[in-house]
Structure 1
Amino acid sequence: MKSPVVASRQSWFVRNRMLLLTVLIIAAYAIFIEWFWGWSTILRQWAEVGAPTIVVALALLTSTYFLRTWRIYDYFPRETRGRFPALFRVTQVHNLLNIMLPFRTGETSFPLLMRTEFGIPLARGTAALLVMRLLDLHALFAAAGIGFAIASSDKVLAWLLWAAFLLLPVVAFAARKPLVRLAAKLLPSKLQHFVAEIENGLPANAPAFARAWGMTVVNWLVKVLVLAWALRLMGVVPAAASFGGALGGELSSVLPMHAPGGVGTYPAGITAGAVAFGAASDGADIAALARASINAHLLIIVSALTGTAISLPFGRRRAS
C-alpha cells in the first residue's frame, strides 16, 4: 500500500505532467540553441535591430490581443457587457496556455474560462471558438494564396480560385441553418440541447458575422506584417520571403501539430514559409534564416508575456 506522501507526489506529477513536459522541452530547446549557435549570436540580432524598433514591434503585436478581445466582446455582447478588462484577462490566459501547451491542448481553456467568468455554456463557448479558429485559418490561407497567385503562371485561374476560396466563409455562414437542422435530425434527442447551444455559438446575424470576419482579417494583417517587418530587419530577403516566413510561423501556431511554446515548430514554419516564398536555401542562408526565425519566435513569446502581464491587474470575479 502506498503511503500518503508517495500518493500525494504521484498525484502532483499527474496533475502537472503537461507543465513539466513543457518546461523540459523549453529547457532542452534553450540548451540546443546555446550548443548550436550560442545565445550571444542569437541576441546580437536584437541589438542590431535596436531597442526602439523592438519596442514598436512589441507594441503592435500586443495591440492585436486587444483586437482579439474585442472580437470576443462583440461575439458575446450580453454576457460580457461592461467587463472588457476581465475578458482581456481571460483571452490572455487562454493565449498563453495555447502557446505553452502542446498539440492545441491550451484551446480547451477557452470554453472553461468563459463558463467560469461569464457563465457561458461549454458547448456554446466551444462552438464560438471553432468558428473563430476557422476564420483565423481562412485568413492565413487566403493571405498565403495571394503570394501563390502572384507567382502563378496562369494568373487568371489562380486569382479566380483565390476569390472562390475567399468567399468560403460567406457560403458556410449562409448554409449554417440547414446544417444545424440536419444535425438536429441525425442526433438523438438527448443531444438536442447541445445542438441548440452550438447554434447559439454561431454569429447571430450577417452584421455580427461580418464584424467577426473583418476583425479577424485586420488582426492577422497587423500581426503578419509586423512579423514580416521584423524578419526583414533581421536579414530575411526578398520581402516576399519575410512575408512568407511570417505566414508560415503563424500557420504552425494554429495547426494541430504544435510543440510546447512553439519550440521547434514555429521557427520551422517560418523557415519553410520563407523558402517557399523565395528565400535562398543554401547552407549559410538557411543558418541565417534559422537565427532570424528563432528571434521572431522569441518576439512572439515576449509579446504574449507582455499581454498577460498587462491583463494580470484585472482580477477575476465570478459572474452573478
Structure 2
Amino acid sequence: MTLLTVVIVAAYALFIQWFWGWPVILGQWADVGAIPVVGALVLLTSTYFLRTWRIYDYFPRETSGRFTVLFRVTQIHNLLNIMLPFRTGETSFPVLMRTEFGIPLARGTSALLVMRMLDLHALLAAAGIGFAIASKDKIIAWVAWSAFLALPVVAFAFRRPLLLLASKLLPAKAQKLVIEIERGLPIDAAAFTRAWAMTIINWLVKVLVLAWALNLMGVFPMAASFGGALGGELSSVLPVHAPGGVGTYPAGITAGAVALGASSEKAALATLAQASINAHLLIIVSALTGTAISLPLGRSRKL
C-alpha cells in the first residue's frame, strides 16, 4: 500500500510538471502573497484542534487531561487518511484509540462511523447553501435547508424508535450497521448537540477558507469558489479516494466550481485546474503542519 501511494504521488507530480510545470503552479502563490497563504494555513490547521476537541468531548472519561496526546492521535489518523487510498487510513483511528486510551476497537469504530455521518451531513448542508442561494423560491429553499440542518438533532431525539424501525426494515446483513451506529452515539442529547455543533463549525471554517483561497487564485464568481471547496471536501469523505487525494481532490474542486457557475472557457478552466491543485497542496501542507506540531507532544505510556 505504501509503495502504491508513493508511485501514484510521484506519477502525479511528474504529470503536473509535464503539463504545466511546477513553477507555473506555484507561481499562483506568489501572486496571492505570503500573508493570505499563511493566514489560510493557520486557519486550516486550527480546524484540527476543533476536531480533536470533538473527540475529547466524545470520550470524556478516557481522554480527560490528555488533550495533547489525543491531538497527536488525531493528526496521525488524519495524515494516514489523506495519504492512503480508498479510506483505508480510517482503520488507524480505532487502533490508535485502543493503544493510547484503552478504548475497545468496536466502540472506537462505532464512534468513528457516527462522526463520519455527521461530517457528511455537514458538507451536504454546506452544499445546500449554494443551492438555496441559486433557488428561485428562496423561502421554500431556506426552510428546507434549515430542516435538513437540524435533521441529526431530531434523529437523535427519536433514535430509539428510528433504530428499531431500521432493524426491522433492513436485511439481516445490515443489522450490524444499526448496532454499530447505536454503540457509537454520544451518551446524551447535550453531548450529541455539542458534537453536531462542533462538526458544523469545523467544516464551515474549512470550506470558507478553501473558497477564499480559490477566489484569491482567480476562481470566479465566489459561488464557484464555494462550490469548488465543497467538491474537493466531498471527494475526500467518499469511499473513492486516491492516495493523497491526487487527481480525485482537484477533480472534485473542478466539478464543484463548474456546477456553481465557474466559466467553461479555456483560459478560465486552466486557471481553475491550477487553483485546484494549489488548494489540494494547501490541504496536504496543513495536514503535515498539524502532524509536525503534534509529534513533539510525545506518546503517553500504553494502557
**TM bracket, shorter-chain basis:** over 0.9
* Structure 1 residue 168, shift from structure 2 partner: 1.8
Partner AA of 1:302 in structure 2: V
Amino acid at match of 1:69: T
Q: Equivalent residue for 1:13?
A: none
Aligned partners of 1:137 and 1:254 also within 8 Å: yes
Residue matched to 1:100: 83
Unaligned runs of 5+ in 1: 1-17
Residue 68 of structure 2 corresponds to 85
Deviation at 1:187, TM superposition (A): 11
Offset at residue 157 of structure 1 (A)? 3.1
| Matched AA of 1:287 | A
Moved more, 112-121 or 70-79: 112-121
Task: Kindly tell me the number of residue pairs found equivalent between the two proteins.
Answer: 299
Any conservation in 2 of the 1:237–1:279 contact (CA below 8 Å)? yes
CA distance in structure 2 between the aligned counterparts of 1:198 and 1:316, rounded to whole angstroms? 30
**Cα distance in 2, alignment partners of residues 46 and 145 from structure 1:** 30
Determine if the alignment matches structure 1 residue 250 to structure 2 residue 253. Answer: no
- TM-fit CA distance, 1:149: 1.3
| Counterpart pick for 1:293 among 276, 291, 296 | 276
CA contact (8 A) 1:118 1:318 kept: no
User: Hey, what's the Cα distance between the residues in 2 that align with 1:94 and 1:25?
Assistant: 20
CA contact under 8 A between 1:116 and 1:318: conserved in structure 2? no
TM-score of the pair, normalised by structure 2: 0.93
Deviation digits for residues 99-139 of structure 1 (CA, Å, limit 9, x no counterpart): 00011111111111111111111111111111111111111
User: What CA deviation, in whole Å up to 9, does each residue of 1:84-106 have, x standing for no partner?
Assistant: 01000000000000000011111
- The 1-side partners of 2:127 and 2:164 are apart by 34
Q: Give the distance between the partners of 1:209 and 1:148, measured in 2 at CA.
A: 27
1:119 aligns with 102
127, 131, 134: which one aligns with 1:144: 127
Deviation at 1:154, TM superposition (A): 2.8
Q: 1:172 aligns with which of 155, 158, 166?
A: 155
Please state how far the C-alpha of 1:278 moved relative to its aligned partner: 0.7
CA contact 2:113–2:184 (8 Å) conserved in 1: no
CA distance in 2, matches of 1:242, 1:217: 19
1:223 Cα deviation after fit = 0.6
Answer yes or no: is the 8 Å Cα contact 2:227–2:260 preserved in 1: yes
Query: In structure 2, what residue type is equivalent to 1:293?
Result: S
Secondary structure of the 2:80 match is: helix
Are the aligned partners of 2:114 and 2:181 in contact in 1 as well (CA < 8 Å)? no
Tell me the TM-score normalized by structure 1: 0.88
Task: Letter of the 2:58 partner, please give it.
Answer: Y
- The amino acid of 2:81's aligned partner reads N
Give 1:162 shift: 1.8
Q: Percent identity?
A: 79
1:9 — aligned with what? Answer: none
After TM superposition, list the pairs within 5 Å mapping 1:142-291 onto structure 2: 142-179=125-162, 195=179, 199-291=182-274
> In the alignment, what sits opposite 1:73?
56
* SS state at 1:269 partner: helix
Corresponding position: 1:44 with 2:40: no
Q: CA deviation at 1:317?
A: 2.5
Cα deviation per residue 1:215-243 (whole Å; 9 max; x = unaligned)? 01111111111111111110111111111
Cα 1:76/1:47, change in 2 over 3 Å = same
Contact 2:113 2:181 in 1 (8 A): no
* Deviation, structure 1 residue 156: 3.2
Matched with 1:23 is 6
Between the aligned partners of 1:154 and 1:89, the Cα distance in structure 2 is 46
Deviation at 1:201, TM superposition (A): 2.4
Corresponding residue SS for 2:297: coil
SS in 2 for 1:313: helix
What is the aligned counterpart of 2:39 among 52, 56, 69? 56
8 A Cα contact 2:79 2:288, kept in partner: yes
Tell me how far 1:159 sits from its aligned partner: 2.5
Alpha-carbon distance in 2 for matches of 1:113, 1:187: 32
Determine if contact 1:124/1:198 at 8 Å carries over to the other structure.
no
Question: Which structure 2 residue ranges, 5 or more long, are not aligned?
Answer: none
Q: Which amino acid aligns with 2:137?
A: D
Q: What's the CA shift string for 1:235-272, capped at 9, x where partnerless?
A: 11111111111111111111111111000010011111
Runs of 4+ in structure 1 over 3 Å off: 178-188, 197-200
* CA shift digits 1:141-175 (9 cap, x unpaired): 11111111111123333223322322221232123
TM-superposed deviation, 1:316: 1.7
State the alpha-carbon separation in 2 of the partners of residues 150 and 198 from structure 1.
33
Deviation at 1:51, TM superposition (A): 1.6
